[in-house]
Structure 1
Amino acid sequence: MKYLKFTKLKNWEYWPAYMFYVPLLPYALYLALRAKNMVFFSAVNPAIVHSGNGSESKFKTLELIPESFRPTSIFIKAHESFNTVAQLIQKNNLKYPLIIKPDIGFRGLLVKKLDTEAALQTYLNKNNYIDLIIQEYVDYSNECGIFYHRMPNETKGKITSITLKKYLTVTGDGKATLFQLIQQNKRAKNYMDVIKNLHFKDFDMVLKNGEKKIISTIGNHSKGTQFINGNYLIDKKLEKAIDAIFKRIPQVYYGRIDMKYESFEHLIQLKDFKIIELNGIIAEPTHIYDSVNGSYLQALKEICIHWKLLYKIALINHSQNQIPFDKISDFIKSVLKIKKHTKLIKQQSLSI
């Protein structure tokens, strides 16, 4: 255990969020003073509540995306009964496996793949105290996050980040048990607490020589997924395709779309992909967490670059499009609300 703590301390990829943002607070204050408003960024994405600061409904935000670009999803109100949820699943022609997650939340908290109706019932018994989303499981081969922005007074936008996601995977040798393979895997053993909840019953399984097993198909860093810098894939054809998507999402100028896709060749043609989530101003250019191809200081620089884009978009929206800034008191209330909500779901996140 002490070794794992040292490993995470040594590798900045695992450092807590405040290590990436506290050092940049002076720059954030500088931008606020220039904008003459402490919550200037609230004018960036008028279509999303508070421009997407994390307190917004994921379901309502997802509905901004054209139906053909997103998976079938249903909203589950807090304290909904299992029977009602089962009927909604049937009514929407959803089949297992399914993805379930909080309607408000981030960093993979309480996100789970459900393989059976029994798994759904177990999940609801523990977690139906909050609003939830049930989503069709998208079975495309790959997952990525694409960060996009467009100035409100321009017709074309830019991709500033592509994050390729490599699911946590182990490879069998015909001898070692799954538990032993996880212990031998440098990355997997850092996520043992998460893995125990997913595969405890399978720990004695012996994989065939060369057989691969994906430990988690949830493309979140907190679930063990490795983030890989895919910025080399940015080109005019891809930007044209992502432009076409965002032009069908009115009044969203800045954010990251997380999507599952078959290939970038198909994505450029707007084929064989689904957007599983749209994140607003709270979104990160997650390629920065590729510790193999980047550094901590480069990560901080990228965050500053994106904050400068926030500043530019907000001021154009405010001065030219008459988009008002939020009241500071309202914005602070929303932040306090999400902090309280996150604390609540964190208490359950390791028990699902």
Structure 2
Amino acid sequence: MSAAMPPLDPAPPLSRFEFWSPGLFYLPVWGWAVWLALRHRGVRLPLVANPGLPASGLVGESKSLVLGKAGAEAKKWIAPFTTVMRDGLAPSDAAADALVALDRAGLALPVVAKPDLGCRGAGVRPVRTKIELADYLAGFPLGQTIILQQLVDVEGEAGVFYVREPGTEHGQIFSLTLKHFPHVTGDGLSTLRELISRDPRAGQLPHLYLPRHKARLDQIVPDGERVRLAFAGSHSRGAIFRDGSRHITEALERRFDAIARDIPEFWFGRFDVRFADFEAFRRGEDFTIVEVNGAGAEATHIWDSRMRLRDAYRTLFRQFGMLWAIGAANRRRGFRPEPWRTFLERWMAERRLISIYPPTA
């Protein structure tokens, strides 16, 4: 039987820039973006990189709308989902209505609950019972939409960054990131807090792991029990990323080319996928897409702790260069970006909501 993921190879626990503040880390990239805007004579060109998506998926896009754009071929690979609005009902009543919505969509608990508008894993949590569903709804902002998606509870996860320039026949996988979920293993003597503090990586990031496990931090973990420290496959939420570029195959590239081409006017973005068999995934088989990210996506292999800072910037400079080039090509095809005011409203709404979503698992 094949493994869900390649073994997590030895590497430094953290790179020296992995958890710099985004404002500091991205300073050189914003400088490069200014040069690209001047070169291509358009600061808003990223907003037409994916004309089929609101603001090209750069910021503030509806996840359900993006997934709903998929055609019949692409939809076969996407985890089924439905959406519910957080209204003013009591959490228990809202949970009952959500269960009805799941049933109508042919779904049932367990599911993954996540905000329809969000990024970087904000507010993502597995929901296995009606009580957990009610708890999630209780902490969700009123008037906002929640995605309830089939839980794909397997160990394998990857981010597949796809790019195709308009006018070319086929696209390419620009980046492949393998996402490992950190665990600690009990010895029958130590509490979960102690196990986390002794872990080479988790011990340096207690702010990511301790709050979400506060209910059992001081309990002794039985000998041999593995405790998963993070559920969401987001680096900023505690997942461990590895550069998977050497695992890209022609079959995998052909598969994602076919999927991307079945999403209208989708040229640039990342597919987040889960799978139980890594070799099957490399053959372009037996995986499930859980999210599609547009122009705001990142080539996340840069967060591999072995990555050198200059190589991370080289990757991001290439990524942004392709983003502007695709936007320029789509401008020549007649597409025009949305007004600045609309873009800024999307950005401000996303920033506000992320700060008040329920805690990420």
If the length of structure 2 is used for normalisation, what is the TM-score? 0.87
Q: Which whole-Å CA distance do the structure 1 matches of 2:265 and 2:155 have between them?
A: 31
Match of 2:119 in 1: 106
Q: Which whole-Å CA distance do the structure 1 matches of 2:87 and 2:176 have between them?
A: 38
**SS of corresponding position for 1:13:** coil
Unaligned runs of 5+ in 1: 1-6
Match of 2:165 in 1: 151
Shift of 1:341: 2.9
Q: Which whole-Å CA distance do the structure 2 matches of 1:300 and 1:270 have between them?
A: 29
Query: 1:179-237 CA distances to partner (integer Å, 9 max, x unpaired)?
Result: 22111112223443443443333334444444422122221113211011111112322
Q: Which whole-Å CA distance do the structure 2 matches of 1:211 and 1:217 have between them?
A: 17
Classify 1:228/1:256 alpha carbon distance in 2 versus 1 (closer, same or farther; 3 Å). same
Q: Is the 8 A contact 1:216 1:223 kept in 2?
A: yes
For these two proteins, the number of residue pairs brought into alignment is 341
Shift of 1:268: 4.7
* More helix by percentage: 1
- 1:63 paired with 2:68, answer yes
Aligned with 2:319 (options 306, 310, 329): 306
2:107 corresponds to which letter in structure 1? L
Classify 1:220/1:9 alpha carbon distance in 2 versus 1 (closer, same or farther; 3 Å). closer
Q: Which whole-Å CA distance do the structure 1 matches of 2:38 and 2:170 have between them?
A: 29
Query: 1:74-120 CA distances to partner (integer Å, 9 max, x unpaired)?
Result: 11113262321121123334333221111111111111111211011
1:46 corresponds to which letter in structure 2? P
Match of 1:3 in 2: none
Match of 2:174 in 1: 160
**SS of corresponding position for 1:12:** coil
Q: Which whole-Å CA distance do the structure 2 matches of 1:334 and 1:210 have between them?
A: 47
Q: Is the 8 A contact 2:110 2:129 kept in 1?
A: yes
**SS of corresponding position for 1:69:** coil
CA root-mean-square deviation: 2.3
Q: Which whole-Å CA distance do the structure 1 matches of 2:14 and 2:250 have between them?
A: 39
2:250 corresponds to which letter in structure 1? K
2:291 corresponds to which letter in structure 1? E
Q: Which whole-Å CA distance do the structure 1 matches of 2:242 and 2:283 have between them?
A: 23
Aligned with 1:173 (options 179, 187, 198): 187
The percent identity for this pair of structures is 29
Classify 1:238/1:244 alpha carbon distance in 2 versus 1 (closer, same or farther; 3 Å). same
If the length of structure 1 is used for normalisation, what is the TM-score? 0.89
Unaligned runs of 5+ in 2: 1-11, 89-93
- 1:30 paired with 2:42, answer no
Aligned with 2:335 (options 301, 306, 323): 323
- 1:40 paired with 2:45, answer yes
Q: Which residues in structure 2 correspond to 1:241-256 (within 5 Å)?
A: 241-256=255-270
Query: 1:271-318 CA distances to partner (integer Å, 9 max, x unpaired)?
Result: 3211111111110000001122x1122111111100110111111111
Q: Which whole-Å CA distance do the structure 2 matches of 1:166 and 1:336 have between them?
A: 31
Q: Which whole-Å CA distance do the structure 1 matches of 2:106 and 2:14 have between them?
A: 46
